[in-house]
């Protein structure tokens, strides 16, 4: 395995170039398309040259020519965002192929869900697209609070549309970041690549409503491997990685997600997920497996719990680690190097940097525990220009520590739960008292 990880020290051909081209588009986005100089225009023309001969080629060339003439329409910005997403998607595919070749692991086929008609969501998508276009014209480094704030009404309506949850969650976080930096002109440095990611990802999602992956009903035994936490002030997404055996063992993701207010944070955020979440947290604490029934196993590798699972026998994640499998690649729209999360078991001395910033706060699995582990189960990630490993489960001489362990104990210590307080206040308001 150490030799396999050594194969990841050199990036696949074209990855650096793709990241560099995306960065050039980010420079224009930061500067503002209404303020483009000759250097920015030259870089955009180089971008168009890269896509020449591809299906996107004519559209990218037309968009670059239009913004070069200061003709700013939403379609041009949608095309440029699509070009950036395509570049990062190609880098994703090259990196994922490299990782799976190093691991000797076949890649499951990807499913491309059929987009759904926009129907009642069309006006919201068009409004979001127009606002994102205005950001690009003005330039992210020139933003004022007055540029961002008017989008609040559209954002609130997006959050109320269940078909647009992904776009709404993304834009909620993006708006929060922009408001924290406003006025942007006074910030010493701005996260240009990250904002380029968020802007382009949001823009392409305004084109149509994403389709739903196919699924089948499933029941079996789930062995928890650890928790991945992705959240911002107004949205929480916790993903439990596990090995699911329903006659065939496979790695799955068990997602828990929902909107929240910034007062609900840390262990309290699990209050959002009701009865289904509690057995999961107890299994993490008690090193137990879970018996799952009436669940949805989706083609994208997600296992959706529709009823509370039941505690089963003792978990042995390291004993089962040789059965880890690759999860299906995401649809083309969502492919980006930052989304690579390849489950691996690694020995001490594997040589990869530890992504300590991804370890959940308050977890028994800490930076020190991960560094001293005799063996590690984690997610192979590509970040900061190279491969890193996000710890999920760390083996020690006495037992193993797992990301998300001790959350039940932390929740028992909570007093005056924020969600209960907010519900009571809301009830009083509705009663008019």
At 93-129, the pLDDT tens digits run: 999 999 999 999 988 888 888 888 777 799 999 999 9
Q: Is 110 helix (H, G, I), strand (E, B) or coil?
A: coil
> What does pTM read for this prediction?
0.92
At 36-53, the pLDDT tens digits run: 999 999 999 999 999 999
Q: Is 118 helix (H, G, I), strand (E, B) or coil?
A: coil
At 331-374, the pLDDT tens digits run: 888 999 999 999 999 998 888 999 988 988 878 899 999 988 99
The per-residue pLDDT for 140 is 95
Query: Which tokens go with 82?
Result: 């699509």
Q: Which of 369, 108, 355, 159 is nearest to 261 (CA)?
A: 159
CA 98/CA 104 separation, integer angstroms: 10
Across-strand partners of 241?
Answer: 226, 253
> Cis bond leading into 183, ω under 30°?
yes
C-beta separation of 402 from 373 below 8 A: no
DSSP for 276-305 reads: HHHHHHHHHHHTEEEEEEEEEEETTSBEE-
Query: Which tokens go with 198?
Result: 């968020």
Could you report how far apart the first and last alpha carbons of the chain are, in Å? 64
CA 361/CA 366 separation, integer angstroms: 8
**What are the structural domain ranges in the chain?**
2-205, 215-410
Query: Which tokens go with 390?
Result: 């996000």
């Amino acid at each position: 395995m150490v030799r396999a990880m050594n194969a990841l020290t050199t990036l696949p051909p074209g990855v650096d170039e793709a990241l560099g081209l995306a960065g050039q588009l980010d420079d224009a986005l930061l500067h503002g398309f209404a303020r483009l100089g000759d250097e920015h225009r030259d870089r955009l023309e180089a971008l168009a040259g890269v896509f020449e001969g591809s299906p996107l080629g004519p559209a990218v060339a037309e968009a670059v020519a239009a913004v070069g003439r200061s003709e700013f329409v939403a379609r041009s910005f949608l095309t440029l965002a699509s070009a950036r997403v395509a570049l990062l998607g190609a880098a994703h595919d090259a990196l994922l192929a490299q990782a799976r070749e190093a691991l000797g692991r076949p890649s499951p086929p990807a499913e491309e869900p059929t987009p759904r008609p926009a129907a009642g969501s069309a006006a919201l998508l068009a409004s979001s697209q127009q606002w994102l276009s205005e950001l690009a014209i003005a330039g992210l480094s020139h933003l004022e609070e007055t540029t961002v704030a008017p989008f609040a009404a559209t954002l609130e309506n997006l959050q109320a549309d269940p078909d647009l949850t992904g776009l709404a969650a993304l834009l909620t976080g993006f708006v929060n970041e922009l408001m924290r930096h406003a006025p942007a002109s006074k910030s010493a440095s701005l996260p240009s690549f990250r904002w380029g990611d968020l802007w382009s990802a949001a823009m392409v999602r305004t084109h149509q409503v994403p389709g739903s992956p196919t699924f089948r009903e499933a029941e079996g035994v789930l062995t928890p491997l650890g928790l991945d936490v992705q959240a911002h002030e107004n949205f929480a997404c916790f993903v439990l990685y596990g090995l699911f055996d329903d006659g065939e063992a496979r790695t799955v993701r068990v997602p828990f997600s929902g909107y929240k207010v910034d007062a609900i944070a840390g262990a309290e955020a699990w209050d959002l997920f009701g009865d289904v979440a509690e057995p999961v947290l107890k299994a993490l604490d008690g090193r137990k497996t879970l018996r799952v029934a009436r669940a949805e196993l989706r083609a994208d590798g997600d296992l959706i719990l529709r009823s509370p699972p039941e505690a089963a026998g003792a978990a042995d994640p390291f004993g089962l680690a040789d059965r880890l499998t690759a999860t299906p690649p995401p649809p083309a729209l969502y492919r980006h190097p930052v989304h690579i999360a390849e489950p691996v078991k690694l020995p001490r001395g594997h040589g990869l940097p530890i992504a300590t910033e991804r370890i959940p706060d308050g977890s028994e699995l800490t930076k020190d525990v991960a560094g001293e582990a005799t063996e590690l189960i984690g997610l192979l990630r590509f970040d900061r220009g190279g491969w890193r490993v996000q710890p999920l489960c760390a083996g020690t001489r006495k037992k193993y520590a797992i990301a998300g362990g001790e959350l039940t104990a932390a929740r028992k210590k909570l007093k005056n739960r924020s969600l209960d307080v907010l519900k009571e206040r809301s009830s009083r308001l509705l009663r008019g008292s």
